[in-house]
A and B are shown apart, each in its own frame.
Chain A
Amino acid sequence: MTASSKDPRNKKFDYQEALRDVARSMVRLRKPDRLLKMITRFIDRQFGLHHTTILVHEPSRKRYVFVNSKGIRRVPVGLVKFDADHPLIRWFLMGRRKMPFGQDFLLLSDVKKMQNKAQFRLAANSRASELTQIQKTMEMLKVELVVPGYFKHDLVGILMLGGKFSGRFFTDQEILFFQTLANDCSMAIKTAEYNNRLTEKNRELEKRLAEIEKLRHKEQRTYYEIIRSLAEEVEAKSPTVFGHVSEVEKLGMMTARELGLDLSGPGKDILSAALLLHDVGKIGIPDQILTKPGQLTDEEWKVMRTHVEKGAKILEPLSDFKKVKEIIMAHHERFDGTGYPKGLKAAEIPIEARVVSVVDSFHAIVSGRCYREGRPIEAAFRELEHCSGTQFDPVVVEAFIRVIRKEIAKGKIDVPAAQS
């Protein structure tokens, strides 16, 4: 039993419980200034002091600022500071182990006693004059007890306490409690500082990532424009198919809508690009094959078929167009698995590629190609239906014919075949 616990005033007060309360609050409160406010209020109420004041280190300004204060002799918030070279700060910055008598708090009564002790002067060496200034500061602020708060080796804050209304001295147990409290708060402040820095860094990183993403997108956009002009060039090689790609794109989008494909997000751009660029690989096919009137030889067909892979290759650098590449790669696959280049079957073929295949074929039938004249729309429908289930996905064929008929009925469609 220590003397202090016999004190009737202290009997009611459970230090362990109080510290647990503080620890719980620290977890709940993310802003340390609210924690400090709570703690000054708590000490003020619990111990009956002339004032309770907290100073906190401002690392960027190299100073300690009075952030919170309670009691009749309180220090107005934000009015007073101690610079890092203030004797009191220097005293605590020396570190715990170097402190005379191994104690890291200062009681005004001790300071006064120490001043008179020759023994202390020896221990403190040149610190005797510092102690005079410290005593002056403590008296100036009506402070009886100063308790530093450390986190690791940093002096994070200082707790300054005025005398008790009762005139009694602080007990060892009370001082130990204040020390624990000061160090707990220091940890909370440092943690919050660290968290804030982390949040800020994250925000900065996100901003930079967004910028990079924007740049990348711009670059890809440029590349896409180049590819589009390439596609137009392919078209321009045979004047009879002029307007083919934009027509295919229009019909393809209508079919996709009829099928109920999801075109809300990037799906729309992907399908549009695939429809526009599906034959871009033909840029790599020699003109004598590409524009040859009449049937191609087996050898020539082999070359012709490489336009699929060539197209995919051209799109390779566009990471946003990965899906477009897949569609183009598969637009000559057949529903029954006999197409090229991979011989994919039914659902293995992307639905967009199945759409491209139907629309592309239809358009080739109705418009003139270098190797034959264009045919009427109804003939094209019959051809599609004939190949439904073998070359084409029956569902796509059905949706395509339905939407074209609707458009014709509305008089909105103008396919070349309508003239023949």
Chain B
Amino acid sequence: MKKRLLLVDDEIEICEFLKSFFEDRDFQVMTAYSGVQALAKVESFNPHVVLLDIQMPEMDGLTALRKIKEKHPKTKVIMVTAVETQDKIEEAMRAGADNYITKPLSLEYLEKDVQEKIDSLAGV
């Protein structure tokens, strides 16, 4: 079974870069550019892990997080924040986020964290 990862960021360039990064690491990757798109992809793709940017137009990351966790409590969600949105981390963790990561990020740490989340799912 391939590891499924959903990347959500309104910056297409970031999605594309991380997509090829994780595809090289044997992930099956889908991308979404807004919270609304993310919800639809969670339904159709059923990812193990969602990498969710906190600040997006249409529906922000926090709202998307709550909706994802409501319907798919098992899906692991890692929030991605920029410096200016760091105050929202606590809110995200309370809303059920499994971890957060701050931009600029360390690719080694990102890879390790996503893998850990997959492993924790396999253990269940």
Given contacts A75-B17, A76-B13, A76-B17, contact A65 B104 (CB under 8 A): yes
- The count of chain B contact residues (Cβ–Cβ below 8 Å) is 13
How far, in Å, is B87 (CB) from chain A's closest CB?
18
* Docked complex Cα distance between A82 and B107 (Å): 8
Decide if A80 touches B11 in the complex (CB within 8 Å): no
Residue of B13, B106, B107 most packed against chain A (CB within 10 A): B107
Residues of chain A lying within 8 A (CB to CB) of residue B13: 74, 76
Decide if A80 touches B108 in the complex (CB within 8 Å): no
* Docked complex Cα distance between A209 and B17 (Å): 51
* Residue of A with least CB distance to B109: A83
* Residue of A with least CB distance to B25: A140
* Docked complex Cα distance between A327 and B122 (Å): 95
Decide if B103 touches A78 in the complex (CB within 8 Å): yes
Q: Which residue from B14, B20, B24, B105 sits with its C-beta under 8 Å from A81?
A: B105
Residues of chain B lying within 8 A (CB to CB) of residue A63: 104
Residues of chain A lying within 8 A (CB to CB) of residue B24: 140
Main secondary structure of the interface of B (DSSP, over half): helix
Q: Which residue from A76, A83, A140 sits with its C-beta under 8 Å from B14?
A: A76
Report the number of A-B residue pairs with Cβ-Cβ less than 8 Å.
35
* Residue of B with least CB distance to A65: B104
**B45 on interface, CB distance cutoff 8 Å:** no
How far, in Å, is A145 (CB) from chain B's closest CB?
19
* Residue of A with least CB distance to B102: A81
Q: Which residue from A74, A79, A82, A137 sits with its C-beta under 8 Å from B103?
A: A79
Residue of A65, A76, A81 most packed against chain B (CB within 10 A): A76
Residues of chain A lying within 8 A (CB to CB) of residue B20: 73
Decide if A79 touches B105 in the complex (CB within 8 Å): yes
- The residues in B between 101 and 120 inclusive whose CB is less than 8 angstroms from any CB of A are 103-108
Decide if B104 touches A86 in the complex (CB within 8 Å): no
* Residue of A with least CB distance to B17: A76
* Docked complex Cα distance between A78 and B82 (Å): 10
Binary CB contact string for chain B from 76 to 110 against chain A (1 if under 8 A, 0 otherwise): 00000000000000000000000000011111100
- The residues in B between 1 and 42 inclusive whose CB is less than 8 angstroms from any CB of A are 11, 13-14, 17, 20-21, 24
How far, in Å, is B104 (CB) from chain A's closest CB?
4
Residues of chain B lying within 8 A (CB to CB) of residue A92: none
**A150 on interface, CB distance cutoff 8 Å:** no
Q: Which residue from B14, B21, B103, B106 sits with its C-beta under 8 Å from A86?
A: B106
Given contacts A78-B103, A79-B103, contact A137 B108 (CB under 8 A): yes
**A400 on interface, CB distance cutoff 8 Å:** no
Residues of chain B lying within 8 A (CB to CB) of residue A75: 17
* Docked complex Cα distance between A137 and B107 (Å): 9
How far, in Å, is B40 (CB) from chain A's closest CB?
24
* Residue of A with least CB distance to B14: A76
* Docked complex Cα distance between A74 and B14 (Å): 10
Decide if A76 touches B11 in the complex (CB within 8 Å): yes
Decide if B21 touches A140 in the complex (CB within 8 Å): yes
Q: Which 4 residue pairs across A and B have the least CB separation, nearest first?
A: A81-B104, A76-B13, A76-B14, A65-B104
Interface residues of A (CB under 8 A from B): 63, 65-66, 73-76, 78-83, 86, 137, 140-141
Other A-B contacts than A81-B104, A137-B107, A140-B107, 9 sampled, CB-CB below 8 A, are: A63-B104, A65-B104, A73-B20, A74-B17, A76-B14, A76-B17, A80-B104, A81-B106, A82-B106
